Amino acid sequence: MPLTLPVLVLALLTLAACAARPAGSGAGETSSSVDDDLVVELDRGDGSAVQRWTLICGDQAEGTHPAAQEACDHLRGMDDPFAPIPDDTICTQQYGGPQTASVTGRWAGRPVDLVLSRVDGCTVAQWDSLGPLLPG
């Protein structure tokens, strides 16, 4: 009987570990649609309504984004498309316009929470680098 308690504890720990495993981590499962799932909100800064799109880059591009496949292909060709601008970057005082955008979700399995603008040379370059993700 003394061996029963350790065996029971081990069994419970094993069950808890299995239950805590994230979806998409099993053998043979793919998680491309979970790993590359974004929401893009674009404010053109002209008083028009904010536009909102979803973008899922799996085997096929999905979502409401008007250029979904082009945006997915473009982002996949970048090393780290949602990297923040380093704090010590020196930027030109080049104003690119009143537009702002936010991109949230997951990319390459990592969380994305990026706010974009066009208020100086660095932010204009960051915006432009995302190409078809920010249409128009």
Per-residue pLDDT reduced to its tens digit, 88-109:
999 999 999 999 999 999 999 9
pTM of the model: 0.74
| Mean pLDDT of all residues belonging to the chain | 82
Domain 31-133, CATH class in plain words: alpha beta
* Confidence band, pLDDT 50/70/90 cuts, at residue 35: confident
Q: Are 88 and 100 in contact (CB under 8 A)?
A: no
Distance CA(59)–CA(49), nearest Å, equals 31
Distance CA(9)–CA(133), nearest Å, equals 50
Beta bridge partners of 102: 41, 115
Which of 41, 4, 48, 66 is closest to 117 using CA atoms?
41
Per-residue pLDDT reduced to its tens digit, 60-97:
999 999 999 999 999 999 999 999 999 999 999 999 99
Distance CA(24)–CA(18), nearest Å, equals 13
Q: What residue segments make up the domains of the chain, in order of their start?
A: 31-133
